[in-house]
Amino acid sequence: MKKIGFIGLGNMGAKMVTNLLKANYEVIGYDIKEEFIDQLLIKGLQKASNLNNIPTDVDIIITMLPNGNIVEKVYESIIDSFKPGTLFVDCSTIDVDKAKDLHKKCEVRKLFSLDAPVSGGVGGAADGSLTFMVGGKTNAYNLMLPLFEVMGKKSLLCGSSGSGQATKACNNMLLATTMIGVGEAFNLGNNLGLDPEKLFEILSTSTGSCWAVNSYCPIKGVGPKSPADNDFQPGFSVDLMLKDLSIALKAIENTKTSAPFGTKAQENFKKMVNNNKGSLDFSAITIFNK
């Protein structure tokens, strides 16, 4: 049975750890907010009072942190302490170049590494249905696969180092632009006098069908329950979507990719944040853009 160090016990990390504990993995956890650690002790988490308190004999270190700068600081603080062959898995969402750099730092120290950002939000973390988009080497992926299967419903090795983050950037850029389009379609339908429930019934079963319609419809009382039914309290906030779109925009610029819709989506979400709407669910963009 693998021994795991887990760093970052916020909304996502805490639920991922809970599933690992349910599967009887030994987990030692750390977060800068001690109350996040303490709430998991009753579930079987072992407490690390600081980063250096994580035992150096763990097999795997998993990080789930807010941004790439924090991930980098954590890695630089601890990677010299662990034995060769320890696997470092970053499930945070960070930019592609930063992910590649962290892989190189691990390789120099003979550590295995994966970048493995997730899709599925807090709900997916809670019920173990996350999708992991993974970058790295096959042997490292195979070591982590049993844990991916505990915490998620799907994982895919997308390619070499940074490929997980690259895939996440593409996925969330598409999600953002799709949600804006869904909002525009329902707004047009409303202005044309259509019943939103009937419009949903058609869109969800015709060529307009997509996840943003079928599973996360941004119209109150229409389709499966979604943040729109709860005043857009977030499953995935505007702040986080802007962060992910900013990562995508950096990749767009670095690769000189033509992506006018993705660029415009980033501008729209930035306006929401500037208007103090960053704490709302990202699907509220459909209301903000009216």
3-160: CATH homologous superfamily? NAD(P)-binding Rossmann-like Domain (3.40.50.720)
Fold of 166-288: N-(1-d-carboxylethyl)-l-norvaline Dehydrogenase; domain 2 (1.10.1040)
CB 117 within 8 A of CB 133: yes
Count Cβ atoms below 10 Å from residue 267 Cβ, excluding itself: 11
CA dist 47 and 28 (Å) reads 6
Residue boundaries of the structural domains of the chain? 3-160, 166-288
Q: Choosing from 15, 22, 47, 168, which is the catalytic residue?
A: 168
Sign of CA dihedral 16, 19, 25, 29: positive
Full-model pTM: 0.93
The half-sphere exposure of 30 on its side-chain side, counting CA atoms within 13 A, is 17
Q: Would you write out the chain's pLDDT as a tens digit for each of its 290 residues?
A: 689 999 999 999 999 999 999 999 999 999 999 999 999 999 999 999 999 999 999 999 999 999 999 999 999 999 999 999 999 999 999 999 999 999 999 999 999 999 999 999 888 999 999 999 999 999 999 999 999 999 999 999 999 999 999 999 999 999 999 999 999 999 999 999 999 999 999 999 999 999 999 999 999 999 999 999 999 999 899 999 999 999 999 999 999 999 999 999 999 999 999 999 999 999 999 998 76
User: Is 270 a catalytic site residue?
Assistant: no
Model pLDDT, residue 216:
96
The half-sphere exposure of 24 on its side-chain side, counting CA atoms within 13 A, is 1
